[in-house]
Amino acid sequence: MYFPRNIRYINRRKNSLKSPLQLLYFVPRPEGVKDDQSIPILFDWRPQGNYLASSNGTISVRISDRYGEIFDDFNAPEKDKFLQWHKDGDYLAAVGSNSPQVTMYTVSIKEANEIDLGLATKKTPVMGKHQRAITSGAFNDKGLLALGSEDATITISNAQGDTVNSFGCNAEPEDVHYVKIFDEFDKNLDEYFITAVLSKRTLMVASALGSDPPVNLQFQDKYGNIKKCCWYEKGHVLMAFENGTIVCLRLDRTPDKSQEMFSVKDFESYLSDLSLCLEARMAICIGDNCIKVRHLDRLSELTSLVTVEDDQKGLDKVKANNNGSLLAVTGKSGTMMIFLTKIPIIGSAYRDKIVYLSSLNKVKIHFDGDRDPIEIDVRVEPSHLSVSDYHIAVVTNNRAWFYELHTKSALSAKHTDKAQVRAPVSAVA
């Protein structure tokens, strides 16, 4: 397995805001990697779960839990170029660079199988529509396929392979995307638009089925090249530019009336990646060895700022899990960091002691007076906590663990007993 098992659990970040990120664990770069070598990491969070699939471009894929413990690993036939979970989280697909096969991993039985795309799929011909290589594409929820090509054209085809629309671009279209825009006065009326990035400087917008020519939206020269576009509801797009600027644009049904809603220069040296977590309303951006999190509905509000100095070559990619509680960040030399963005508020107090959850499976005890606090690893994720003169109770579901407090020669705590009841515990005192 390419990933080292000796992950480090450290917490030495420079946090300046009220909602800092907490590092859960750190995976060093693979052994044998030279200092000047860049190792791109592919990774994807399992939907509705806390498993993270990752690969460093070799034939190995690792699936780990939120603590960094390896759930399973498997080999793909070729170096991975694509890694993604099925929307229900039951399967994981890994695609090699030159292979006609897809490695399909089934979580329930921990088994990986190779599927030949030529035998397993029904092919719909879309040949002869482009004179040069197809470089980008997207489906909408009505089954229409938009394809962008090096020949500077975009075609739209239905499920039968028939061309329903096509139009030319000023340059090769990249990052082709469908955007649904609702009518301002009638929410039952909607229209699909096609967007694409041209020459890394322009955002092209065209009606998917209309006859109007595409509209090219220009941005200020000082922004530099477009690094990434992240679309979300009501025609909003958050755009990251290489020089460190973040711009929010709202697309109008009349594209040339689209408005720039927000802009900020977040980084001075470089910007690597931008990612959104819609459920948690988070916009996460990395660059200048920093992670910055903004509230998606109040972009001027910076909720977290963390300095990361564990990768000498700088940061590369970032993505949160579905509920935004966990954040994965990779470095250009092949490192990976998993951060905790929020901790459940669980605690208890008794006389001169306060106990509370300080991390996913860590409990901290504060004492009245000059005594230093202590932190213990409880090995589970508590749902309830309680403290007495000499014990701490840690409850998860229908089980309780008891820890004895020692306060004579040195402040410490040790596990003493475990209890189990028939039904989940709802309170403890």
What are the tokens at 124?
């719909």
CA distance 110 to 123: 30
Average pLDDT over residues 187-213: 89
Question: Which tokens is 236 given?
Answer: 């909003």
Q: What is the predicted pLDDT for the residue at 85?
A: 95
Instruction: Tell me if residue 49 falls in helix, strand or coil.
Output: coil
Most confident of the ranges 178-182, 249-253, 256-260, 316-320: 316-320
Please report how many Cα atoms fall inside a 13 Å half-sphere around the Cα of residue 128, on the Cβ side.
5
Assess whether pLDDT exceeds 80 at residue 356: yes
pLDDT at residue 121 in the model:
58
Q: Specify the 3-state DSSP secondary structure of 333.
A: coil
Chain mean pLDDT for the chain: 84
Statement: residue 317 has pLDDT above 80: yes
Task: Return the pLDDT at 2.
Answer: 39
CB atoms within 10 A of CB 55: 24
pLDDT for res 43: 95
Query: How confident is the model at residue 31, as a pLDDT?
Result: 76
Confidence band, pLDDT 50/70/90 cuts, at residue 420: low
* Tens of pLDDT, residues 16-67: 444 578 888 999 887 777 777 788 899 999 998 789 999 986 668 999 998 8
Q: Residue 105 pLDDT > 90, yes or no?
A: yes
Q: What are the pLDDT digits (tens) for 230-250?
A: 999 989 999 999 999 999 999
User: Could you tell me the pLDDT band of residue 413, with boundaries at 50, 70 and 90?
Assistant: low
Cβ proximity of 290 and 307 under 8 Å: yes
Of 57, 53, 138, 133, residue with least CA distance to 96? 57
pLDDT tops 60 at residue 13: no
128: left (phi over 0), alpha (psi -120 to 50) or beta: left
pLDDT of residue 397: 82
**Residue 177's pLDDT is what?**
94
Q: What is the 3-state secondary structure (H, E, C) of 348-414?
A: EEECCEEEEEEECCEEEEEECCCCCCEEEECCCCCCEEEECCCEEEEEECCEEEEEEEECCCCCEEE
Which residue blocks in 193-281 are alpha helix, DSSP H? none
Residues in the chain: 429
Dist CA 399 CA 389 (whole Å): 21
Compute the C-alpha angle 299/302/306, nearest 5°: 140
For residues 294-312, average pLDDT: 90
**Paired strand residues for 403:** 392, 415
Domains with residue ranges and CATH for the chain = 40-118 (2.40.10), 130-265 (2.130.10.10), 347-420 (no CATH)
List 52's β-bridge partners, or say none: 45, 64
pLDDT in tens, 58-104: 668 999 998 889 999 998 766 768 899 999 999 999 887 766 778 89
Is there a contact between 75 and 94 (Cβ–Cβ < 8 Å)?
no
Residue 115 pLDDT greater than 80, yes or no: yes
- Rounded mean pLDDT of 183-196? 80
Residue 415: pLDDT band (50, 70, 90) is low
The residues, any chain, with a CB within 8 Å of residue 253's CB and separated by 6 or more, are 181, 183, 184, 191
